[in-house]
Amino acid sequence: MLYFFDPRLLLFILPGLLLGMWAQARIRSAYARASQIRSRRGLTGAATAAAIMDYEGVSGVSVEPTPGFLSDHYHPLLHKLRLSEEVYGGNSLAAVGIAGHEVGHAIQHARRYVPMYLRSALVPLCTAGSILGQLALGFGVFLAFAGFALGKWMLLAGIAGFMVVFLFSIVTLPVEFNASKRALAILTNRGLIDAEEVPAVKGVLDAAALTYVASAVSILGTLLQLVFLFNRSRD
């Protein structure tokens, strides 16, 4: 049934898969360690977010708890900073670091940081591209290797779609790195964390950034899979 499978596909699948597993293990490990260290200032994630926005003159952004583990995010359209319950009410260095990172996105929005606006503009195209890519992998491959011309067109559409998804993942990298850089600088310069607390906070931020690198590698692997399968279907 899998007559179109080629062991060489593993060259595209494994790097992203293994890097993703390592990145997830690292973020969980860094989060677990930093979660055991209380902030010397006694700041919760919510208080950290409020303090940074006050210092940076960011207004009109509400901070609210949201369910889920590491579900923290900033919603630019709604001007809402949503922190997971552990981060929102927790006073660990993990909570302080993650809250700082998410406020970094709110600052980017307020300062009109170009990569963030570009990423937001790519969201609808990325969603459509991801759907095209999944359809290509799910149906296009089978149809193409069964000799149907439609299958090859689906693979081409999937390739185009995942090119957009990959572009989105690349644009995401500077957005995330910049948010972490802003967070660490503000937390340090404003005295919200001491010098001794910096390594734990930085460990969480660096591990979180690695997950986005792993995601980009995984998406590139999927794109290369589609290109490889399209070329094979033409043989």
Per DSSP bridges, beta strands 80-84 and 62-66 are parallel
Percent of the chain with pLDDT over 70: 97
Per-residue pLDDT at 29 exceeds 60: yes
Contact (CB, 8 A) for 115 and 178: yes
Alpha carbon 148 to its chain centroid, in Å, reads: 37
Mean pLDDT of 202-218: 93
Contact (CB, 8 A) for 34 and 203: yes
What's the rounded Cα separation, in Å, for the pair 53 and 80? 12
Residue 235 is predicted with a pLDDT of 64
Q: Which residue is associated with the tokens 């404003």?
A: 190
**pLDDT tens digits, residue range 155-201?**
999 999 999 999 999 999 999 999 999 999 999 999 999 999 999 99
Percent of the chain with pLDDT over 90: 78
For residue 62, the cross-strand partners are: 80
Predicted confidence band of residue 230 (pLDDT cuts 50, 70, 90): confident
Per-residue pLDDT at 5 exceeds 80: no
* 86 belongs to the catalytic site: no
**C-alpha distance from residue 142 to each of 34, 128, 130, 233 (Å):** 47, 21, 18, 10
**pLDDT tens digits, residue range 64-98?**
999 998 899 999 999 999 999 999 999 999 999 99
Three state DSSP letters for the chain:
CCCCCCHHHHHHHHHHHHHHHHHHHHHHHHHHHHHCCECCCCCCHHHHHHHHHHHHCCCCCEEEEECCCCCCEEECCCCEEEEEHHHHHCCEHHHHHHHHHHHHHHHHHHCCCHHHHHHHHHHHHHHHHHHHHHHHHHHHHHHHHCCCHHHHHHHHHHHHHHHHHHHHHHHHHHHHHHHHHHHHHHHHHCCCCCHHHHHHHHHHHHHHHHHHHHHHHHHHHHHHHHHHHHHHHCC
pTM of full prediction above 0.85: yes
**pLDDT tens digits, residue range 110-154?**
999 999 999 999 999 999 999 998 888 888 888 877 778 888 899
- Annotated active-site residue in 56, 85, 86, 102: 102
